[in-house]
Structure 1
């Protein structure tokens, strides 16, 4: 693991918030899934952006990164997040600036650390659960059909626009639907 160990401050680790009956339904469901599976997968349907999904609870359960993926239909994004989380559960730790096979058939995905400026717009349920921004999160970036990642020369521009560069601060991000959409703060 290549992150500094930091104590988890999630709802499950906060003794002052122990009465789960007082939590909202979403937080109770997240807590149940984190206890039962080690993570919860949150899917978000974009309105003026593509969909995305992310895990909540990997930091609590494994002391490591949670994972997000953008630009795919929410069901597909959730399935890929769950697949990566299952790989972590089986001992394949996540790391920043790495490539990983066995997520999308025939392609690698690359992982990049998410800049804290994206958390309020994209990871609200996780912020509520973890009670602190940011917790360690990586973006799993998928390539175009030719295997080129969005930052690589010759990458399909349509596929490039489907995935924000979450490792870049929002106020420094190139113009795109991700910074001009309803996600804007």
Structure 2
């Protein structure tokens, strides 16, 4: 989530909370592209401790557990990594693991602003499934797999949809090597469409799994958090994506 989406009042609240309490917790509701998540701001500044982030739990739960973790840190007890912790989530173990630096910009927008876009470390809180398994364990319940991304590793695929989900791709992209310049995330069925600069018809459409599209052009990973009902365009590969609401009439004219 980029800082362009933030607002001045939120920035004021963050500064006030960090000054008063030592840290604050930013909460983000789930939408059609990403699960709910929450992260701290201020732990690195005031306690020389990595910031924290959690995914996929109710917002009030994440708010509470991150504040509880903050209290532990404030008391002079840094969180251990890669070990079961039973102090944070009642009756259930959690583990904290370092967030790969490449994943920081994808989620810590307000924190990046707070730290003037200078590097800072973070830990991700991981919770278990009903059988007590963590996401990296073979027996982990796959129905929870998309609720908490593995930010502790470099991600070649950032979308929360399954890798094999079907997408509609203009034939020219795979058959003629044309660049992906327009992307639609449909509101009706949640499907993705990847188009080039050419006008296309239904006869130009290919069905390709999302993973193959990302392999073809890894820069589409930047759209992993684009909700349904939005589109993104760019002038060339490497240019900044510009997002907007889908113009339904315009999209229908192209299909």
User: TM class, shorter-chain normalised?
Assistant: 0.7 to 0.9
Contact 1:65 1:94 in 2 (8 A): no
What's 2:83 paired with?
Answer: 98
Q: What is aligned with 1:19?
A: none
1:75 aligns with 2:119: no
1:15-69 per-residue CA deviation (whole Å, 9 max, x = no partner) reads: xxxxxxxx93222211211111110100011312210000000001101111110
- Change in Cα spacing, 1:143 to 1:31, as seen in structure 2 (3 Å) is same
Aligned to 1:12: none
SS at match of 1:125: helix
C-alpha change, 1:80 and 1:152, in structure 2 (3 Å) is: same
Q: Normalising by the residue count of structure 2, what TM-score does the alignment of the two structures yield?
A: 0.58
Higher relative contact order, structure no. (Cα contacts within 8 Å, ≥ 6 residues apart): 1
Offset at residue 174 of structure 1 (A): 7.2
Q: How far 1:169 sits from its partner (Å)?
A: 1.8
Instruction: Decide whether aligned partners of structure 1 residues 134 and 169 sit closer, same or farther in structure 2, where only a CA change above 3 A counts.
Output: farther
Which SS does the other structure have where 2:103 is aligned?
helix
CA distance in 2, matches of 1:73, 1:158: 17
Count matched residues: 162
- Whole-Å Cα distance in 1 between the matches of residues 70 and 38 of structure 2? 12
5+ residue gaps, structure 2, are: 1-6, 163-220, 233-240, 242-255
Matched, 1:34 2:18: yes
The more displaced of 156-165 and 174-183 is: 174-183
In our comparison, the structure showing a higher alpha carbon Rg is 2
Q: How far has the Cα of 1:163 moved from its partner?
A: 0.6
Structure 1 counterpart of 2:108:
123
2:37 alignment partner in structure 1: 52
Contact kept, 8 Å, 2:69 with 2:88, in 1: the verdict is: yes
Contact 1:111 1:141 in 2 (8 A): yes
Higher strand proportion, which one?
2
Instruction: Name the stretch that deviates more: 173-182 or 152-161.
Output: 173-182
Q: Please say which of residues 175-184 and 61-70 is displaced more in the overlay.
A: 175-184
Give how far 1:118 is off.
Answer: 2.0
Identify the residue that residue 141 of structure 1 maps to in structure 2: 126
Q: SS at the partner of 2:35? A: coil
Query: Per-residue displacement from partner, 1:64-123 (whole Å, max 9, x unpaired)?
Result: 111110011222222211111111112221233333111111111111111122222211
